[in-house]
């Protein structure tokens, strides 16, 4: 024994041995007292209250729990000497038997007239005893029956002063989720205790996307060979994560057999529930050696000064009472002893309260006889008083929630050597964490020692012991060998398997973080891949690799990896030249709305130029037809930038410059699009819609054995119009012949097959679709296979990277064609998009706004010119007596051009129709040299105006 442990043992024995005798004496006096209890010094009498105790006294749990009850009563009455009641314990041994426990309960109620029963120890015993207690209204409170069977049957007089087994399900599921395990096996006792956890653990695991794939029921009294049979069955499964829900005794036996058959080695994961996790510190050395590396859960109890003191006293009293000296581990208390201590404290306090409130009836009134037991008068009050208990106990806060203790904080422990080392904690609020009041779980794995003394996190599954080499079925194809090709190898008397699907599978396996051994097994499925899938479903093959399509009906029986090809069913048809479309190809670069907008803006620009130039520019004058032709010839010539410099006004020049920029952009874009159209292959699919085939009664084809036949029937094709084709040559021959000559008008198949056909036969054929949706090709595995998620991630990495492109290039060339929709309204050239009005709307808005602005400015100037007239001269007579008249103001001649000439229409306004006017009775004579008129204008210095009166000419201008 180590020196520290020896010193601690000596201290406990030396200082606490005296307390043991005192406790035993007190218990003896309490048990012997039948009436009032008093002391020799005349202290007031104490009322004895009888409490029954049912435990399995042949087990360590029963012995320890009884001692804990006795210590609690001693501590309580030492702390409260004024209590008027004293609990008298009547202890019965149930001897691990349900009937014995029920009989003991009946004896305690009928003969001992107990007011309350503490126990029994197991959940199965508690279920029977509770019915009896519920009838007699004698409360039963258990600190170790965690199964919760009595609770679920709504028996109010049963209280569980412990946590229910179902509470730990969420903690276990959180642990499984952290390591990404998807499938687990639950091993449980084949009784009500073991079964009670199954619903909660299954639901909790399902919430984290894990599944219970098998439930191994182990009867408590099973011989070794029966347990070994079940263990060998577990070894044949792929799952290596096991959750064990047993009581400590059966669990010790089970792990001994698991170690014997070689299942406590590296790669296995063993998780035990709290009934085992709570006692791993006190199991025998031989037992704990068989549990090396297991992970357990137990309610967390903080180490306080009170706990340390209790442990020291308990250790000394237990070894003194039961002479337990050979293994000091087994003398330590566990959570069950803490709960027992708290129960005794709560019961004694509740009895004291009920005594003060209503008192106790005489024992004769409690029961009548064996056939008809009368209910306890104090039962309801005692039950209510216990339910109201709320205090800090050894195990934490003692308070009932739904007649059980509240959900505790669970401690995660790992069995290493002779002790359980803490790994972390789980709480309802924070989940799994490395430390209390923390949400971090980083690096938790490095603290765990797994079975086989391994520090590597198990992946949670392995190939079964009878199938270490993965048997992979591959279909034997007679065509479309791009995907799977099986050839006989005469050197090895076997087969050589190759193809696109094989290369993708092998690349994915190489990316797995572990080695995967497999062998290919060719399987001739007679062109029906449903037969190949059935071989996987019935476990003839461990997997199937090939061009197997993922569809809903198949996924009911097997699991598929992520698809590694594109999806969909499309239509293969002949390609034809469209001469009608080629004749009008020059219209296709621009959409209809862009053509209309271009013409509108050509006309608008011409109109603006004419309005601005026509008043002064002789090029835009003359007859109406001359003005129209000149204007719009000039505007259309801007499209080719061949227009003459015939405009003179600044306003019109601004309009033309902006329009020429728009034309430059538009013409360049048009030229580029037209070049793309002229250089592309002008082929159109002969059929673009399956409904066209139905209306015209054409024949269609599909690949032999393909599920596409069901698609055609769903599209309502007549069975007589559907032909089965098997080879690529048959595809080409049938399409070239056509429906009228014994062939087909279209072939429906999956996109990968059609793409491989186009790769070989070129652009003479075209793909139209997709017609129907599928998920592409995937690899097949049995339901629940752990390989599926790992391979799916590997496939995703391959298809997104260069490796996937290289594999595709190896089998299909540089580019694999993709199916395209073909409809009469679509562009016949794949990938071509006509130029739209939206692409040039900004330019049209700019040129429109500038043209409108220049037009408004020009019109405003013309209006100003129109309303500015030449004013007539005013002749003044200063003396106003008929004397001489003289000219006081010259005639203002308007000249819009500013070049010294005036329009002839202004001249006509001055001279009048007959070149004579009168002014204040005098005659005004104008003489114009009309021969000097040029373009409708007359130089101002060529106009002579004479103002005559009766006295002669006064002035000549």
The answer for residues whose C-beta is within 8 angstroms of residue 611's C-beta and 6 or more apart is 855, 858, 859
310 with 299, same domain: the answer is no
Q: How confident is the model at residue 896 (pLDDT cuts 50, 70, 90)?
A: very low
In this structure, what CATH number is given to the domain that contains residue 526? 3.40.190.10
Which domain CATH number covers 197?
A: 3.40.50.2300
Which residue did the predictor score with more confidence, 256 or 857? 256
> Do 284 and 413 reside in the same domain of the chain?
yes
Q: Per residue in 374-418, pLDDT tens?
A: 788 888 899 999 999 999 999 999 999 888 888 889 999 999 887
Residue predicted with more confidence, 874 or 248: 248
> Do 269 and 312 reside in the same domain of the chain?
no
Here the tokens at position 887 are: 């000219």
pLDDT digits (tens, 9 = 90+) for 68-86: 999 999 999 999 999 999 9
> For residue 9, what pLDDT is reported?
31
In a domain, 769, yes or no: yes
Confidence category of residue 854, pLDDT binned at 50, 70, 90: confident
Is residue 907 a part of any domain in this protein? no
pLDDT above 70 as % of the chain: 75
Asked if residue 887 is part of any domain, the answer here is: no
Q: Taking a C-beta distance cutoff of 8 angstroms, is the pair 886, 920 a contact?
A: no
Distance CA(208)–CA(213), nearest Å, equals 15
Bridge partners, residue 523, by sequence: 475
Collapse the DSSP code of 411 into the 3-class scheme (helix H, G, I; strand E, B; otherwise coil) and give the result.
strand
Instruction: Tell which of 748, 774, 800 closes a domain.
Output: 774
What is the pairing mode between strands 952-956 and 943-949? antiparallel
Q: Are 830 and 595 in contact (CB under 8 A)?
A: no
Same structural domain, 561 and 485: yes
Is 456 a domain residue? no
213, 243 Cβ separation under 8 angstroms: no
* d(C-alpha 827, C-alpha 834), whole Å: 8
Kindly state whether residues 290 and 426 are assigned to the same domain. Answer: yes
Q: Which residues contact 30 (CB under 8 A, 6 or more apart)?
A: 37, 48, 73, 86, 87, 88, 89
The mean per-residue pLDDT over the stretch 459-483 comes to: 79
- Kindly state the greatest CA–CA separation across the chain: 174
* pLDDT band per the 50, 70, 90 thresholds, residue 271: very high
Contacts of 569 (CB under 8 A, 6+ apart): 708, 711, 748, 749, 750, 751, 769, 770, 771, 772, 773, 774
Whether 180 and 295 share a structural domain: yes
DSSP conformation class of 898: S
Whether 932 maps to a domain, the answer reads no
**Averaged pLDDT for residues 321-338:** 82
CA dist 349 and 341 (Å) reads 13
Res 912: pLDDT: 41
Distance, CA of 188 to CA of 197 (rounded, Å)? 9
What's the rounded mean pLDDT across residues 124-141?
Answer: 87
Indicate whether 746 pLDDT > 80: yes
Mean of all residue pLDDT scores within the chain:
78
Q: Is residue 661 part of a domain?
A: yes
Query: Across-strand partners of 475?
Result: 523
> Of 679, 696, 715, which closes a domain?
679
CA nearest neighbour of 245 among 284, 267, 268, 277: 277
Q: Catalogue the E-assigned strands of 513-568.
A: 518-523, 543-549, 558-560
Do 222 and 272 share a domain, yes or no?
yes
pLDDT at 786 over 70: yes
Sheet holding 419-427, edge to edge: 211-218, 183-189, 241-245, 269-272, 295-299, 410-416, 419-427, 431-433
**Which structural domain, as residue segments, surrounds residue 690?**
572-577+683-774
How many domains is the chain built from?
Answer: 5
* Contact in structure between 238 and 465 (CB atoms under 8 Å): no
In a domain, 933, yes or no: no
For residue 607, which of 620, 595, 594 has the smallest C-alpha distance? 620
Rounded to an integer, the average pLDDT of 850-871 is: 71
Task: Answer yes or no: are the C-beta atoms of 289 and 269 closer than 8 Å.
Answer: no
- Please list the helix, strand and coil fractions of the chain in percent, rounded to the nearest 5, in that order: 45, 20, 35
Residues 282 and 426 in one domain: yes
CB 16 within 8 A of CB 80: no
- Residue 32, pLDDT above cutoff 80: no
One domain, residues 755 and 804: no
pLDDT tier at 583, thresholds 50, 70, 90: low
Same domain, 640 and 593: yes
Q: Is the pLDDT of residue 957 over 70?
A: no
From residue 472, alpha-carbon distances to 43, 499, 723, 781, 845 in Å are 88, 15, 32, 9, 67
- Tell me, yes or no, whether 110 lies in a domain: yes
Q: Is the pLDDT of residue 904 over 90?
A: no
Q: Of 643, 664, 679, which one is at a domain's C-terminal end?
A: 679
Q: Which of 578, 638, 583 is nearest to 606 (CA)?
A: 638
> Are 482 and 499 spatial neighbours (Cβ–Cβ below 8 Å)?
yes
**If you average pLDDT over residues 663-683, what whole number do you get?**
73
Residue 637 Cα distances to 606, 612, 620, 846, 849, angstroms: 11, 18, 16, 21, 22
- pLDDT at 508 exceeding the cut of 90: yes
Residue 120: cis peptide before it, omega within 30 degrees of 0: yes
Name, in order, each residue with C-beta under 8 angstroms of 777's C-beta and a sequence gap of 6 or more. 483, 501, 546, 547, 548, 549, 550, 563, 564, 565, 752
Residue 423 phi/psi, 5° resolution?
A: -110, -30
Domain identity same for 516 and 612: no
One domain, residues 597 and 737: no
Q: Residue 713: which CATH number?
A: 3.40.190
Q: What integer pLDDT is reported at residue 748 of this predicted model?
A: 92
Rg of the chain over Cα atoms, rounded to whole angstroms, equals 53
């Amino acid at each position: 024994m180590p020196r520290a442990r020896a010193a601690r043992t000596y201290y406990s024995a030396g200082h606490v041995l005296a307390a043991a005798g005192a406790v035993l004496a007190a218990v003896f006096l309490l048990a012997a007292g039948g009436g009032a209890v008093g002391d020799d010094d005349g202290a007031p009498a104490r009322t004895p209250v009888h409490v029954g105790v049912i435990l399995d006294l042949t087990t360590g749990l029963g012995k320890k729990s009884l001692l804990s009850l006795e210590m609690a009563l001693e501590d309580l009455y030492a702390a409260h000497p004024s209590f008027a009641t004293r609990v008298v314990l009547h202890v019965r041994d149930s001897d691990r038997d349900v009937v014995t426990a029920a009989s003991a309960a009946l004896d305690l109620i009928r003969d001992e007239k107990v007011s309350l029963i503490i126990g029994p120890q197991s959940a199965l015993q508690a279920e029977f005893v509770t019915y009896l207690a519920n009838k007699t209204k004698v409360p039963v409170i258990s600190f170790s029956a965690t199964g919760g069977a009595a609770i679920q049957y709504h028996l109010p007089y049963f209280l569980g002063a412990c946590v229910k087994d179902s509470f730990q399900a969420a903690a276990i599921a959180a642990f499984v989720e952290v390591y990404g395990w998807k499938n687990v096996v639950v091993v449980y006792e084949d009784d009500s205790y073991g079964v009670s956890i199954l619903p909660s653990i299954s639901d909790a695991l399902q919430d984290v996307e894990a599944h219970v794939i098998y439930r191994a029921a182990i009867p408590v009294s099973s011989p070794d060979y029966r347990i070994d049979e079940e263990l060998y069955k577990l070894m044949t499964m792929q799952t290596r994560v096991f959750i064990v829900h047993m009581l400590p005794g059966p669990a010790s036996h089970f792990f001994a057999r698991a170690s014997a058959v070689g299942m406590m080695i590296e790669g296995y994961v063993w998780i035990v529930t709290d009934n085992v996790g709570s006692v791993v510190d006190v199991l025998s050395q031989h037992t704990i050696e068989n549990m090396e590396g297991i992970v357990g859960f137990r309610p967390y109890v903080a180490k306080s000064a009170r706990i340390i003191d209790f442990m020291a006293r308990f250790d000394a009293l237990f070894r003194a009472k039961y002479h337990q000296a050979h293994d000091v581990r087994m003398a330590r208390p566990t959570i069950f002893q803490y709960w027992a201590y708290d129960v005794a404290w709560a019961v004694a306090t509740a009895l004291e309260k009920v005594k003060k409130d209503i008192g106790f009836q005489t024992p004769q009134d409690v029961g009548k006889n064996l056939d008809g037991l009368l209910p306890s008068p104090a039962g309801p009050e005692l039950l209510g008083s216990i339910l109201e208990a709320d205090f800090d106990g050894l195990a934490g806060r003692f308070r009932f929630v739904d007649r059980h203790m509240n959900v505790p904080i669970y401690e995660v422990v790992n069995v290493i050597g002779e002790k359980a080392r803490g790994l972390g904690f789980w709480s309802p609020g924070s989940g799994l964490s490395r430390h209390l009041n923390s949400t971090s779980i980083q690096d938790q794995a490095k603290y765990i020692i797994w079975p086989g003394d391994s520090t590597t996190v198990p992946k949670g599954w392995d190939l079964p012991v009878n199938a270490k080499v993965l048997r992979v079925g591959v279909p034997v194809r007679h065509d479309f060998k791009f995907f799977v090709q099986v050839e006989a190898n005469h050197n090895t008397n076997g087969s050589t398997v190759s193809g696109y699907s094989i290369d993708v599978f092998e690349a994915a396996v190489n990316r797995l973080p572990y080695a995967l051994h497999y062998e290919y097994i060719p399987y001739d499925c007679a062109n029906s891949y449903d037969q190949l899938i059935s071989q996987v479903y019935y476990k003839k093959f461990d997997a199937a690799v090939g061009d197997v399509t993922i569809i809903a009906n198949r996924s009911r029986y097997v699991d598929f990896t992520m698809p590694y090809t594109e999806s969909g069913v499309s239509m293969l048809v002949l390609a034809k030249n469209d001469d009608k479309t080629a004749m009008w190809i020059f219209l296709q670069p621009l959409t209809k709305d862009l053509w209309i907008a271009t013409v509108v803006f050509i006309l608008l620009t011409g109109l603006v130029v004419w309005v601005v130039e026509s008043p002064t520019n002789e090029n835009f004058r003359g007859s109406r037809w001359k003005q129209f032709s000149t204007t719009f010839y000039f505007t259309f010539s801007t499209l080719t930038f061949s227009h003459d410099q015939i405009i003179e006004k600044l306003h019109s020049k601004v309009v033309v410059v902006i329009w020429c920029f728009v034309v430059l952009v538009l013409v360049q874009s048009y030229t580029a699009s037209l070049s793309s159209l002229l250089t592309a292959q002008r082929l159109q699919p002969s059929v673009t819609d399956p409904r066209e085939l139905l209306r015209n009664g054409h024949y269609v084809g599909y690949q032999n054995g393909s599920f596409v036949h069901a698609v055609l029937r769903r599209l309502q094709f007549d069975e007589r119009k559907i032909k089965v084709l098997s080879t690529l040559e048959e595809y080409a021959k049938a399409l070239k012949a056509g429906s009228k000559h014994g062939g087909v008008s279209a072939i429906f198949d999956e996109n990968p097959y059609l793409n491989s056909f186009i790769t070989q036969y070129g652009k003479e054929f075209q793909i139209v679709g997709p017609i129907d949706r599928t998920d592409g090709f995937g690899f097949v595995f049995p339901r629940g296979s752990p390989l599926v998620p790992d391979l799916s991630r590997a496939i995703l990495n391959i298809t997104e990277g260069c490796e996937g492109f290289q594999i595709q290039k190896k089998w299909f060339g540089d580019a694999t064609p993709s199916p395209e929709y073909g409809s009469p309204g679509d562009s016949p050239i794949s990938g071509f998009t006509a130029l739209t009005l939206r692409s040039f709307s900004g330019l049209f808005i700019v040129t429109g706004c500038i043209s409108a602005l220049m037009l408004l400015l020009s019109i405003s100037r013309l209006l100003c010119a129109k309303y500015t007239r030449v004013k007539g001269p005013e002749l003044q007579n200063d003396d106003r007596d008929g004397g001489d008249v003289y000219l006081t103001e010259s005639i203002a001649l308007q000249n819009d051009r500013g070049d010294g000439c005036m329009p002839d229409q202004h001249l006509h306004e001055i001279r009048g129709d007959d070149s004579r006017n009168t002014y204040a009775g005098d005659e005004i004579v104008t003489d114009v040299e009309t021969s000097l008129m040029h373009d409708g204008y007359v130089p101002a210095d060529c106009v002579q105006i004479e103002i005559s009166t009766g006295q002669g000419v006064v002035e000549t201008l």
